[in-house]
Chain A
Amino acid sequence: MNDRKSRNIKVAMLARVEGEGGLEVRVRNGRVADVKFRIFEPPRLFEAFLRGRRFTEAPDITARICGICPVAYQMSSVHAMEAACGVIVDGPLRELRRLLYCGEWIESHALHVVMLHAPDFLGYESAVHMAKDHAGQVTNGLALKKTGNAIVALLGGREIHPINVRVGGFYRTPTKRELHALVEPLERARERTLAMLDWVKGFEFPDFERDYEFVALRHPHEYAINEGQIASSLGLELPASEYERHFVEEHAQHSNALRSAMRAPVEGDPGAVKPYLVGPLARYSLNFDRLTPTAQQVARDAGLGPVCRNPFRSILVRSVETLWAVEEALRIAVAYEPPAAPAVRVEPRAGTGVGATEAPRGLLVHRYRIEADGSIADAKIIPPTAQNQKSIEDDLWKFIEPRLELDDATLTWQCEQAVRNYDPCISCATHFLRLRRLEG
Chain B
Amino acid sequence: MRDALPETAPAGGLAGAPLLIGVGHEGRCDDAAGLRAARLVRALLWPRARVIERAGDAAALLEAWRGEPVVVVVDAMSSGSPAGTVRRLDASRGPLHAEFFRGSTHGLGLAEAVELSRSLGQLPPSLAIYGIEGTDFGLGTRLSFPVECAVREAALLISEELLAARD
Chain A interface residues toward B at CB < 8 A: 15-20, 67-68, 111, 115-116, 126-128, 131-132, 135, 138-139, 142, 145-146, 149, 159-160, 426-427
Contact = CB atoms under 8 A, between A and B. Distances in A.
Nearest to A160: B55
Q: B62, B106, B112 — which one has the most chain A CB atoms within 10 A of its CB?
A: B106
A135 B59 contact: no
A427 B106 CA distance: 11
Contact of B106 (A17, A138, A142, A160): A17
B57 A138 contact: no
B60 interface: yes
B106 A146 contact: no
Contact of B108 (A19, A115, A160): A115
Contacts of B60: 149, 159
Nearest to B119: A131
A128 B120 CA distance: 9
A309 B62 CA distance: 36
Contact of A19 (B57, B105, B115): B105
A15 B98 CA distance: 14
A427 B107 CA distance: 14
Given A131-B120, A135-B119, A18 B106 contact: yes
B119 A128 contact: yes
Contacts of B112: 126-128
A16 B107 contact: yes
A132 B122 CA distance: 12
Smallest CB-CB A-B distances: 8 pairs: A131-B119, A128-B115, A132-B119, A135-B120, A142-B59, A128-B116, A18-B105, A19-B105
A126 B107 CA distance: 9
B3 to A, nearest CB: 14
A116 B59 CA distance: 13
Contact of B116 (A68, A131, A146): A131
> Number of contact residues on B: which range applies?
10 to 19
Interface of B: 55, 57, 59-60, 62-63, 104-108, 112, 115-116, 119-121
Given A145-B59, A160-B57, A138 B105 contact: no
A19 B115 CA distance: 22
A138 B107 contact: no
A127 B116 contact: yes
Nearest to B55: A160
Contacts of B55: 67, 160
Contacts of B107: 15-16, 126
A38 B120 CA distance: 35
B119 A111 contact: no
Contacts of A132: 119
B140 to A, nearest CB: 14
A126 B108 CA distance: 10
B61 to A, nearest CB: 11
B116 A138 contact: yes
Q: B59, B115, B120 — which one has the most chain A CB atoms within 10 A of its CB?
A: B59
A146 B63 contact: yes
Nearest to A15: B107
A417 to B, nearest CB: 16
A111 B106 CA distance: 10
A138 B55 CA distance: 21
Contacts of B115: 128
14 contacts: A17-B106, A20-B105, A111-B59, A116-B106, A128-B115, A128-B116, A135-B120, A138-B119, A138-B120, A139-B120, A142-B63, A146-B63, A160-B57, A427-B105
Contacts of A67: 55, 57, 104
A294 B62 CA distance: 32
A145 B59 CA distance: 8
A170 B107 CA distance: 33
A68 B57 CA distance: 11
A307 B57 CA distance: 35
Contacts of B116: 127-128, 131, 138
Nearest to B122: A139
Contacts of B108: 115, 127
B67 to A, nearest CB: 13
A337 B120 CA distance: 40
A336 to B, nearest CB: 26
